[in-house]
Amino acid sequence: MNKIQKFANPTISGGTYAGEAASGYIAAALLSANTLDKKLVTIMPNVKYKSVIQKLAVANLVNAASCDFITNTGSVTISEQVLTPAELQVNVQLCKQDFLNSWEALNLGFSAFDEIPKSFNDYLVSYIGGKVAEATETNIWQGLASTGTFNGFENLFSASVAAGGVLPARQTGGSSQIISGSVTSTNIIAKFDSIVQTIPTTVYGKQDLVLYVGTNVARAWQQASSGLGVATAGGTITNTSLGANGYQNAFVIGEKPYNYNGIDVVLCPGMSDNKIVAAQKSNLFFGTGLLADYNQVKVIDMADIDGSQNYRIIMRFTSGVQFGIGSDIVYYGAY
């Protein structure tokens, strides 16, 4: 007697995740971006159209005491930056069969996932969510409105430097020569030093001041701070970094501190190569309408429509970035 029973592939029904359900998926996708997941910028949810970032500058606030209230003892200047999230969408078609085996394997147990998706719909939406997170991370820094997304920080900073707002990194701070170019393990310490010297005295020492770096800069810092230097053409190692001992001669043992002279160095994979930003987390903003009730994720099984094994996922959300006070930011990059 044959005890093996063969079952046909399950029928997967599509569905719509609307309102709070949709915002949960979209929020997970967006907030998985490294810059957002680690809260390296200020996140502003529920921005349906625009959000005005007020900037307040006060001068000559404290004066000698008198018996009268004097209205002109200080000057208050209010300006603003406008954050306008761009409307974005995901329209993707996947073949059900390409993902079904993986989903079934997850449900057998012993999975590396913290939480196994309970339905095929959830599994596919989670998969696409990861891809959305990657794109969001890149757009936060490199985005271009002309390509259908939104202008990322790098483009905003470059435009502001040209207009006299954001500060370009200078050789020794103040009015010295503006610097840019490739960052390597042999010059990164000099680059960091110049950037730190350019930070305004009113910003230096703030608790949320950090150095934002991309992947190649982070690599250069790890190599320099380990004491490895770089290999010459002859294959020998030349130590040009933190002194002959490096970190106690522990050349390749463990990750070295992401900190330069008391300022945290944070890795943002979405940044371009050879870019460094010194700024306060509270001065950089990411706006989105991810909790708005008009968001929705549609999952459409095309089997009942055209007889195919295709699956369509449709997502809509908004994203955008903006900075507050440009003169409090130092940007090392293309100007």
The token pair that represents 81 in the structure block: 């930056």
Domain assignment of residue 8, yes or no:
no
Domain assignment of residue 125, yes or no:
yes
CA angle 220, 224, 230 (to 5 degrees): 85
Q: Whole-angstrom Cα distance, residue 225 to residue 26? A: 38
What's the number of domains the chain is made of? 1
- pLDDT for 128 equals 84
Domain assignment of residue 9, yes or no:
no
The residue segments making up the domain with residue 19 are 15-58+74-167+176-332
- pLDDT for 289 equals 84
Domain assignment of residue 290, yes or no:
yes
Give the CATH number for residue 215: 3.90.1690
Domain assignment of residue 65, yes or no:
no
Domain assignment of residue 323, yes or no:
yes
List the pLDDT tens digit at each of the 335 positions of the chain.
Answer: 444 444 344 445 567 777 777 777 777 787 788 899 999 999 988 887 788 776 666 666 676 777 776 666 555 555 678 888 999 999 988 887 777 777 766 665 555 554 556 677 777 787 888 888 999 999 999 999 999 899 999 999 999 999 999 999 998 755 588 889 999 999 999 999 999 999 999 999 999 999 999 999 999 998 888 765 444 444 444 444 444 455 544 555 566 778 999 999 999 999 999 999 999 999 999 998 876 666 778 888 888 888 888 888 888 888 999 999 999 999 998 76
Cβ contact 203:227 at 8 Å: no
Domain assignment of residue 3, yes or no:
no
Q: DSSP E strands: which ranges in the chain? A: 15-18, 42-44, 51-59, 75-83, 86-95, 167-168, 209-213, 230-231, 237-238, 259-260, 263-267, 276-280, 284-287, 296-301, 310-323, 330-332
The pTM score is 0.79
Domain assignment of residue 226, yes or no:
yes
Q: Which amino acid is at 185?
A: S
